[in-house]
Structure 1
């Protein structure tokens, strides 16, 4: 039986009991039908894994004993900050999940001029909570012990004006450079991907004014979710750990 990996947002100490979160309780007790004595792996974002076993399992409460701590990292040596134009449907969720699996260190959902998602401030906060759960579940699945940072949805103009030492990159099918032609600084890359409608002419002008380098992934126009995953994969294959 596969050992479940569970994120726990609080301090984990060897030889102590820990009551797991409501989401973990539902997953372990009600979905997986876990039993007392079953082995489990916990992580809290400090870069370590904590091996343990379940000592109490009910429909509303699961308690684990932390048996040991293992310190190792699956993090990429390449720092990638993905800024993804928010798209409709499940495209955004898919991009976040795959970006985490591919090792990005930071994600910023961008509200652009052609963004098809219009929400109130309260609903944007709820959407962030939903996306944060996706980040956690992706880390549980892929083995990462450190959660990438997920920022609140940010206006395009606000994000593009942020100072950074990372190399600014965005995609264009007619760009004259590919990922293999660029040299990344130690701080890594800041990767900008538009929504399904692409960037407006004004937004493209702003990227040029703020020093973004256009990079191509071949001559074809890719869907927004394909572009993000392909670009991250190219960066990791050439400059990272793939």
Structure 2
């Protein structure tokens, strides 16, 4: 693929076709990077396609790229990991989502848990959900993935547990044995990360009843935004594309 900024555009790619860049990326390309007509860019549709393109219009109000070539994207892990991440405050959730995407997660569900101290409702929840999905798309621009993982709307932990069917299901729980050594390579996996205050004993029991095995990440207690980075790294090294 050509050099140039990598931009997520949810559009149909066809060779010779023109794509109008969304407002945010257009502003970045024209005003921050100061790229003009003829500059190369790379586009990805979020569903698996990459495109090599060139700018044919680069005004202050409108930026248009013309598609020169289309190909299948790269960077997807052979292991599909579905992350249930307890919602945390401020930038911590952004960090967890960003790094999970970089480490190849297939989808993320923000979870309301007993000890979690974040409760979102109505318009505030919708805005935060849209923000988290944008964080995932931005992470894909940086790390080279052509598929943007879905960030599902926040939901209670019990609902997420009821829908789990992955071959390998893991819940982070300090002080327990590691659960990866004797496991055959699974087709997919579910990973549950609790909040800063940890999952309650009832929530751990509910996860165990839903087929989850406890996973310890060593003698130190990790922050809720650090835990998915370490756990996903272990999973990708053991079963995915970091081997």
For this structure pair, what is the TM-score category when the shorter chain's length is used for normalisation? Answer: over 0.9
For residue 182 of structure 1, report the CA deviation from its aligned partner: 2.5
Distance in 1 (alpha carbons) for counterparts of 2:100 and 2:23: 26
- Structure 2 residue matching 1:181: 3-state secondary structure: coil
Which residue pairs with 1:191 in the alignment? 191
Residue 142 of structure 1 aligns with which residue? 143
Contact kept? 1:178, 1:217, Cα under 8 Å: no
Match of 1:219 in 2: 219
Aligned residue runs from structure 1 range 158-177, under 5 A:
158-177=159-178
What does residue 108 of structure 2 align with? 107
User: The residue matched to 2:147 in structure 1 has which SS?
Assistant: coil
Residues 43-52 or 174-183, more deviating: 174-183
TM-score by length of 2: 0.94
Q: Which residue of 2 aligns with 1:30?
A: 31
What is the Cα deviation at residue 14 of structure 1?
Answer: 0.7
Q: Structure 1 residue 45: deviation in Å?
A: 2.4
> What number of residue pairs does the alignment pair up?
241
* Residue in structure 1 matched with residue 43 of structure 2 by the alignment: 42
In 2, the alpha carbon distance for the partners of 1:62 and 1:22 equals 9
Consecutive unaligned residues in structure 1, runs of 5 or more: none
TM-score between both structures, scaled by the size of structure 1:
0.95
- For residues 5-61 of structure 1, what are the alpha-carbon distances to aligned partners after superposition, in whole Å with 9 as ceiling and x for unaligned? 111111111101111111211221222222111100111023221101101111211
* Aligned position for 2:12: 11
- Give how far 1:176 is off: 2.1
Q: Secondary structure at the match of 1:46?
A: coil
